[in-house]
Amino acid sequence: MIAEGLSAALRACRHLVVFTGAGVSRESGIPTFRDAQTGLWAHYDAEQLATPEAFAADPDLVWGWYAWRQALVLGCEPNAGHRAIAALQDCVPKLSVITQNVDGLHQRAGSRDVIELHGSLFQPRCAICAHDAPSAVLQSGEKIPQRLPPPRCPECQGPIRPGVVWFGEMLPEIPWQRAAEAVQACDLLLCVGTSALVYPAAALPMLAAQQGTVVQINPEPTALDEHATFNLRGRAASVLPQLLAQFQP
């Protein structure tokens, strides 16, 4: 049941920002960072693997992890939460989708102009000359060897790296600028499925809370709870369609 105050705020919204984390893809079958690593990676910590140091020390292991994640994502579908976010495009005068996720599921659900703060699994590039490389996607379901040598750059023979932002790396400038501008300008920020622990991305919903309404969707408490105007304790795929329904006549 959606509180009347929230329903009214949604319908009055002029510029809505939807800010998402790994939780929005959970019901598509993609483990979050907080989930214990599954399968081949049970004994690795994502925060250890998602670093330039790990790639320098063992490129085959890190590339194998990203190839496994690419195959996993391609075997998944956007869920009702992603689809509700895409449908919101036709409900408010302006909608900005800002995601920490690298899985591309918002785009596959129909969201346009998604701001990807942490890059994408599907935009690998040369680690030396940044030459774009084709996505080394393996057929989903193919058994991924735990170590997989990264492809070599056709321009300089350097190793191809995943097109994501690793821990310790700067966020891409344009997406960051666009996200900060959208958050400054919005009158309502909908924060879905993030533990709000990874900076600087986690600063965005805090910024929105200083000047407007923040609505959080998460089955668990997070660092954002005390800053949010509304805390909706639930899963993205069930709560987001209920919010979308507030716009139906």
- Which residues carry out catalysis? 118
What is the 8-class DSSP label of residue 117? T
Select from 74, 165, 214, 215 the one that contacts ligand BV8 (CB under 6 A). 165
Token digits of residue 2: 């959606």
Nearest residue to 66 (alpha-carbon basis) of 122, 118, 21, 104: 122
Look-up of token digits 């992890």: 65
Q: Out of 26, 82, 83, 161, name the contact with ligand BV8 by CB under 6 A.
A: 26
Structure tokens at 41: 């990676």
Which of 228, 175, 170, 174 is CA-nearest to residue 200? 170
Select from 149, 164, 246, 238 the least CA-distant residue to 201: 164
Position closest to ligand BV8 via CB: 23
Q: Which pair of structure tokens corresponds to residue 55?
A: 């790639």
Q: Would you count residue 195 as binding ligand BV8 (CB under 6 A)?
A: yes
Contact partner, 122, from ligand BV8, Zn ion, none, Cβ < 5-8 Å per class: none
Q: Convert residues 35-54 into a mask of x (bound to ligand BV8 by CB under 6 A) and - (unbound).
A: ------------x--x----
Burial-class residue 21 by CB neighbours within 10 Å (0-12, 13-18, 19+). buried
Shortest separation between residue 228's beta carbon and Zn ion, angstroms: 44
When binding is defined by CB under 6 A, the residue of 2, 6, 7, 33 that contacts ligand BV8 is: 33
With vertex at residue 156, the alpha carbon angle to CA 71 and CA 103, rounded to the nearest 5 degrees, is 20
CB of 107 to Zn ion, least distance (A): 26
Shortest Cβ 132–Zn ion spacing (Å):
10
Say which residues have a Cβ less than 8 Å from residue 228's Cβ, sequence separation at least 6.
191, 205, 209, 214, 215, 216
222 contributes a contact to ligand BV8 by CB under 6 A: yes
Binding mask 135-174 for Zn ion (x = CB under 5 A): ------------------x-xx-x----------------
Candidate residues 3, 129, 197, 245; the one interacting with Zn ion per rule CB under 5 A: 129
Tell me if 129 contacts ligand BV8 by CB under 6 A: no
Site residues (CB under 6 A) for ligand BV8? Answer: 21-23, 26-27, 32-34, 47, 50, 100, 102, 118, 164-170, 193-195, 197-199, 201, 217-220, 222, 235-236
